[in-house]
Amino acid sequence: MDLSLSGKVAIVCAASKGLGRAAALALAREGAKVAICARGPDTLARTAEEIRQATGAEVLPVVADVSVREDVARLVTETVRHFGGLDILVTNAGGPKSGPFSSLSEEDWREAVDQLLLSAVRLCAEAVPHLKRRGGGRIIHVTSVAVKQPVDNLMLSNAVRAAVVGFAKTLANELAADHILVNCVAPGYTRTDRVRELLQAGARREGVDEAAIERRLVAGIPLGRMGEPDEFGAVVAFLASARASFITGSVIAIDGGSVKGLL
Ligand code: NAD
């Protein structure tokens, strides 16, 4: 299938590692020019070089924290200045603090809102005028299966990511006439550094090996395994492409079947 992404310009946020990196790599493989951001310059520069080497694509690393308004504005401005426009925005950020309601302060809530919700809102505010100038585009928000089925002990993720879905659905309706399609992807357990760290922490806490923790986690996934980052990246590339021309306002789970509900 030709995704017709050649020459398109994409911003992928929080992309020095993990799911963001996989999305950027998939878009670059399909011929897109990609701006990637993260907070740490060294890993970001290394990832940009790896994606260039693997795909031959143009990759622009921009050091930016997506929870900081000025960084978001600079990320979009530098991308448009460098590549001459913008067609695709993939919003993403690190995960918020875990824990139940009783463990969270008001400051924790504010940080989670800045990191997950306001980052997406600000990125869209900066990017949409550029997408309109191109006559259309794609916005893809990275969320979590938590937006379909809350995950125990992840109060902030469950509550704040749901707001991102409400924002995305409303924006999809508002921007449809401008040919800008807005969707969310909802990954389940996918083998990234973050998940490796979760497995290690669980193993230390319980005094068992990581494989035991992974077996328990995978028991809830009908496909019987965790996802790989490339499997996630492929769905993002499809949604960003000309082939996904009648999908907007949707939340696509990439979870091996782990969500138990119908939708
Ligand atoms: P990861 O830790 O492997 O990578 C996170 C990336 O985000 C890194 O490049 C990091 O530098 C960057 N980053 C973090 N905070 C940032 C910020 N404020 N500004 C800019 N860059 C920032 O994590 P991951 O597994 O790729 O997860 C990405 C997102 O997807 C997280 O929000 C996570 O909670 C969510 N998620 C992950 C999984 C999974 O199984 N991996 C499942 C559901 C949801």
- CATH number, domain with residue 242: 3.40.50.720
Same-domain check for residues 129 and 162: yes
CA–CA separation, 38 vs 17, rounded Å? 9
- In this structure, is residue 1 part of a structural domain? no
Same-domain check for residues 119 and 216: no
Q: What pLDDT, on the 0 to 100 scale, is given for residue 132?
A: 98
- In this structure, is residue 91 part of a structural domain? yes
Mutate to test the pocket of ligand 1, among 19, 42, 69, 195 (most ligand atoms within 8 A of CB): 19
Specify burial of residue 202 (Cβ count, 10 A radius: 0-12, 13-18, 19+). middle
Domain, as residue range, for 213: 192-226
CA–CA separation, 181 vs 140, rounded Å? 8
Same-domain check for residues 236 and 218: no
* CA 177–ligand 1 middle distance (angstroms): 32
Mutate to test the pocket of ligand 1, among 90, 117, 143, 192 (most ligand atoms within 8 A of CB): 192
Same-domain check for residues 123 and 221: no
Mean of pLDDT values over 182-206: 94
Same-domain check for residues 203 and 166: no
Same-domain check for residues 84 and 28: yes
- In this structure, is residue 139 part of a structural domain? yes
Q: How does pLDDT run across 38-58, given as a tens digit for each residue? A: 999 999 999 999 999 999 999
Q: Is the model's pTM score more than 0.95? A: yes
Mean of pLDDT values over 200-204: 89
CA–CA separation, 233 vs 153, rounded Å? 27
Per the listing, tokens 């701006």 go with 35
- Residues touching ligand 1 (Cβ under 6 Å) are 14, 16-20, 37-40, 65-67, 92-95, 115, 142, 144, 187, 189-190, 192-195
Pairing state between β 137-142 and 33-38: unpaired
